[in-house]
Structure 1
């Protein structure tokens, strides 16, 4: 979406970091559905095929087994715990000073595109991505990491697009 979605207010989308810097509106698609259709048989087919992670997860586990710490993004919601897990994995101990604040960075809440407003397209996309979901679950289990409920239940960011608690305080742009 970052590379091919046309935003109604392109300049504002760039300010919110929803669009890659330097990109123009040339060759963009007016809706998530249009990108999906292009994925089915157009120029984006190659992009969709090359961005799949399933094929790389087994290789990564084979190369780094016993030396890899696999954490799902949901662990970032408990940063103190996550940092402690990472420190322990690296063989370090660190006690955070009282009052340490763990901020949220690179977070853009709300609707980025029209995708979440198109339920049938979201379901089609989730169905198409099912092998990716399964590969992520298997990867986490083989790496000895817990599998979050959000992954097993296929919870997407669309569930929280209208929830203002998932935005950075006082900002409409990325933080």
Structure 2
């Protein structure tokens, strides 16, 4: 990964899209070394918790690079990819998809957290919390794509 900055990327001008127009989003399932906990972050929407994820940009050679950048920006973690969890299609209804929120194709990676930093780009917007599988399932209810990624990981049930 390139040098970490304290600036989170914004906007979608450098966003990658699939040949059929889906916005390409990369994310991580950060698991503890003993695989008993997963790291969630506060959603941009009040009260929600999510997995770190965001757009794969044109200057990033791989989705893996984008996922690790997102983990840094949103959760303040430096991580190593352990496993590619594969692609997950957008599960929103056609009514929920719009020009402002186009259809998405997710690619998630299971990662080992090498370091949790005290300061990170989105620290004032997002808290982070280690939770059990059951707590994560409860927190991610209503986000089937995130539950799918969680269930593809080696997190202990």
- What TM-score, normalized to structure 2? 0.22
Q: Say which structure is richer in helix.
A: 1
